[in-house]
Amino acid sequence: MVQERSQAQPPPPSTAPPVVPPIAPPPPSIIETSKCSPIEKLRKFGAEEFRGRSDDDPVKAEYWLQSLVRIFKQMACSTEDYLRCAVSLLKEEAYNWWETVEAVVPAEKLTWEFFQNEFKKKYVGKRYLDKKNREFLDLWQGNKSVVEYEREFVYLSKCIRDIVPTEEEICIRFEEGLNDVIRMMIGVNEIREFVVLSDRAQKLEEVYNKKIQRDRKNKVI
């Protein structure tokens, strides 16, 4: 009887192997971007061609170069690719100009930095750069907020790196252009990091504006 009962017991249920969900492949855009060459990536980021026609004004040329710099930062490619990518966008007269430059300049000097300098000389022009120099030297905060002053300061400083080539000189010039009240509140602290200096000036301006508002309310009361 014992043997019959043991034989009648059902076998233990079999355990099914755990189901492992399949790993989803990365989105097609990521795959495509990773496989793209730097020049192909450049197009995907919306870089525009530059033809260097005689009717192109200096502002258009400057904006083209600035937009290219922003795109390069987004692409996160090597500096060696910058020049090759930039040249790929030159068409017609602009490409002919660069071919002439390449023919007379040693290959080791053909760098991205060199390209930017020569491009500005050719298409932005000395007269335009001189105008930006004067605007930068004459720039003061005046009725602008610190944020507005900083925005204009940064824009102009990019055009005339030869005037303020170091961060220390940038900070000195920025502080000189602040309104007297803000500059005096900064005091004798020699802040030589531009981000820190700008942030300090904005906070001091906020404190000063709140004080002015309190004083006005007290007068009304």
Its pTM surpasses 0.75:
no
Contact 62, 159 (CB under 8 A): yes
Structure token digits, residue 22: 């399949």
Neighbour count for residue 140 (Cβ, 10 Å): 12
Task: Classify the C-alpha dihedral 43-48-52-53 as positive or negative.
Answer: positive
Contact 59, 129 (CB under 8 A): no
What string of pLDDT tens digits covers the 221 residues of the chain? Answer: 445 554 555 555 555 555 555 555 554 444 344 456 667 777 777 778 888 776 667 878 888 888 888 888 877 777 778 888 888 888 888 889 999 998 888 888 888 888 888 888 888 877 777 888 888 989 999 999 999 999 999 888 877 766 777 888 899 999 999 999 999 988 777 888 999 999 999 999 999 999 888 888 877 66
62: enclosing H helix or E strand: helix 58-75
